[in-house]
């Protein structure tokens, strides 16, 4: 178990009643990319303990949020439907009652082993599953955010996103820990299911 000393992001998260410091990654992405304008339906992949979901609830209080994680979400809200399970075995469309999502977020990450190639490959698999979900549930024009550990699949993922989205950017948020290899892809203006 990690015994890290709380850094400024951890302290800020606690002060603002957020469940994890990860919230500041989404906040930075949102500030730069204005992801939540007109958003009514959000799919949140890898949601536990729940800081991104909390951020969505505070940012767009009327939005419906469908969230999934292997682990339990540590808060509940009437607009949040939480599914405990694996994205590899779950069709998120089932929980959207026929509605398309405006925004799909994936902060999914594997339990790291410390073996570089294994961790990078598992992260790539999760990012792939996230993209598969986005292609299935997003409305044309919708946005997608996905976390990926830097590695071999980086270029291929970029190419795949560019095929399906008009705008694709990469960001390493300020609150990402120095030794982390994570990078966030932000893809906007989904071209629509015809290409998927
Ligand atoms: C960095 S944490 C997410 C933090 C979260 N966004 C927050 O703000 O509280 C990564 C999460 O991905 C989840 N995860 C990993 N593999 C998964 C899978 N196959 N399906 C669903 N969630 C998964 C992990 O259980 C973990 O909770």
CATH number for the domain harbouring residue 33: 3.40.50.150
Residues 23, 33: Cα–Cα separation, whole Å = 15
Which pLDDT belongs to residue 107?
Answer: 98
Residue 52: phi and psi, rounded to 5, are -70, -40
Binding site membership of 94 for ligand 1 (Cβ less than 6 Å): no
Which pLDDT belongs to residue 180?
Answer: 85
Between the CA of 20 and the centroid of ligand 1 the distance, in Å, is: 12
The count of domains in the chain is: 1
Domain contains 84: yes
Domain contains 172: yes
Between the CA of 47 and the centroid of ligand 1 the distance, in Å, is: 5
Domain contains 17: no
Q: Is 147 marked active-site?
A: yes
Residues of the chain with pLDDT > 70, as a percent, come to 96
- The C-alpha R_g of the chain, in whole angstroms, comes to 16
Mutate to test the pocket of ligand 1, among 23, 24, 57, 107 (most ligand atoms within 8 A of CB): 107
Residue with CA at minimum distance from ligand 1 atom 16: 110
Domain contains 27: yes
Between the CA of 82 and the centroid of ligand 1 the distance, in Å, is: 13
Domain contains 16: no
Mean pLDDT of 93-119: 94
Mean pLDDT of 165-174: 95
Domain contains 108: yes
pLDDT of 125 above 80: yes
Residue with CA at minimum distance from ligand 1 atom 5: 47
75: left (phi over 0), alpha (psi -120 to 50) or beta: beta
Which pLDDT belongs to residue 179?
Answer: 84
Domain contains 94: yes
pLDDT of 4 above 80: no
Confidence of residue 1 (pLDDT cuts 50, 70, 90): very low
Between 37 and 177, whose confidence is greater?
37
The domain of 134 spans 22-195
Domain contains 2: no
pLDDT of 193 above 90: no
Mean pLDDT of 31-47: 97
């Amino acid at each position: 178990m990690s015994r890290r000393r709380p850094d400024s992001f951890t302290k800020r998260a606690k002060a603002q009643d957020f469940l994890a410091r990860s919230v500041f990654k989404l906040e930075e992405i949102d500030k730069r990319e204005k992801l939540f304008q007109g958003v009514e339906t959000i799919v949140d992949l890898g949601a536990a303990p729940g800081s991104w979901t909390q951020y969505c609830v505070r940012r767009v209080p009327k939005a419906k949020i469908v969230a999934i994680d292997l682990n339990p979400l540590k808060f509940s809200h009437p607009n949040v439907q939480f599914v405990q399970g694996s994205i590899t075995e779950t069709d998120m469309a089932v929980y959207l009652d026929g509605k398309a999502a405006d925004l799909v977020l994936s902060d999914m990450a594997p339990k790291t082993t410390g073996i570089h190639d294994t961790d990078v490959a598992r992260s790539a698999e999760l990012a792939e599953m996230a993209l598969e979900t986005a292609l299935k549930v997003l409305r044309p024009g919708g946005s997608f955010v996905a976390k990926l550990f830097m590695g071999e699949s980086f270029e291929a993922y970029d190419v795949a996103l560019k095929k399906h989205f008009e705008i694709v950017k990469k960001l390493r948020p300020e609150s990402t820990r120095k030794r982390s290899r994570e990078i966030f892809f932000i893809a906007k203006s989904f071209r629509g299911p015809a290409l998927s």
